[in-house]
Structures are given as structure tokens and as C-alpha cells.
Amino acid sequence: MTETTGAPMTLGNHYPSQAEVLFKGSEIHARVGEMAADIRDVYGDEEITIVAVLHGALIFVADLMRALPMPMHLTAVVASSYRGAATSPGELEISLNSELDIADRHVLLVDDILDTGRTLFRLKQIVAAHHPRSVRVAALVDKPSRRVAELKADFVGFEIPDLFIVGYGLDFNGHYRNLPDIVALPAGT
């Protein structure tokens, strides 16, 4: 794993205080390129259908798809998993695009983070019900120690311990999605 640049605060005002940069934008860019090469090794020139899990995967999917040369379709779902003490664990809502047309297609689910795995486990079930030719998962970040559902990504960018991260599409209460780096918030934030 990558060395962190150490905490905090040479980052600019729009960064959360005491944030620690885990992955710089340039490093993410390089890793996304490697993931694209791995994905290409699997599909070759076959057409794929990317299903992006919004909103967190927005920036990742934009970079990833431009690094992939094969013909593709893009669609999206919106998933919200409610975290925190106020809600029961595993409560999950997935809004499907009603035009989700994936029968007999190679589906690549693209998500920001694989955490408990519940979102992608559920989404895989939903997608499977549409009879795709294949279903695979690409996650930029994986937190294997948090896993509850039995779900393994086919393509993973970075493995991290149990940290809460923001930036590069990832939010905390709607903030920080626009940060170019991936940043860890201090525990208890």
C-alpha cells in the first residue's frame, strides 16, 4: 500500500480539517489506468454495459470509461445505504433506471467503495434477474475488514483499512466530492 503524505492542513480551506491524504489525484489516475488494462484483458474487444452506482462512482466511472477502448453502453443506478446509529443496518434503497437494458449483455458494475458489500450484493441480484450474459464488479476502493455480505470485486483499485474517506466523488454529508485526492477523515468525525 501507498505511503500517506502525513496529516494535516497544507491542503487548502475546502479540505476537511485534519484530513490525511491517502491517495493523490495523480496516483488515482495511474491506478485507474491499470484497472482499465485489467478490464481490457478480461473483455477484449467485446461490448460491455457499465452500470455506475451513483453518486459516489461518478468521477471514477468518468475516468475509467475514458481509459477503456472497447464499445460500451453506460447506465446508472442510484444507491443510498443509510449509515449511522439512527438507522438500522442494511437499509438500502436502489433506484433503477427503468430503461435498464442488460439482457444478454456483459455488465460491469462500477462503484466507489466496497464496504459491507450489501449494496453491490443486492445490486448484483437485481441485475442477475435481467439475465445478463455476465456480471462483474469494479470498485475503486475496497475495505475487506468491513465485509458483511459475501461479495468479491473482480477489479479493485486500492485496499484500505477501516477508514472513512472522502474526495474523488466520495462525500461526507454531501461535501468534498470535488476534491481531486482521496482523503481520510479522522475517526469520530
Active site residues: 115
- Residues in the interface with ligand 5GP (CB under 6 A) total 17
CA distances from 134 to 99, 145, 188 (A): 18, 27, 40
Asked whether 153 and 137 are in contact (CB, 8 A), the reply is: yes
Exactly one of 56, 117, 132, 157 binds Mg ion (CB under 5 A); which one?
Answer: 56
Q: Which is nearer to ligand 5GP, 133 or 175 (CB)?
A: 175
Nearer to ligand 5GP, 112 or 181 (CB): 112
Spatial separation of the C-alpha atoms in residues 13 and 8, rounded to whole Å: 12
Please identify the residue of the shown chain whose CB is closest to the bound Mg ion: 56
User: Is 171 a residue that touches ligand 5GP (CB under 6 A)?
Assistant: yes
119 binds ligand 5GP (CB under 6 A): yes
Closest CB 170 distance from ligand 5GP, rounded Å: 4
166 binds ligand 5GP (CB under 6 A): yes
The window from 30-38, 106-114, 123-131, 152-160 that contacts Mg ion (CB under 5 A) reads: 106-114
Q: Does 49 sit near ligand 5GP (CB under 6 A)?
A: no
> Judged by CB under 6 A, does residue 22 bind ligand 5GP?
no
Interacting span for Mg ion (CB under 5 A) from 21-29, 52-60, 83-91, 139-147: 52-60
- Is 124 among the residues that bind ligand 5GP (CB under 6 A)? no
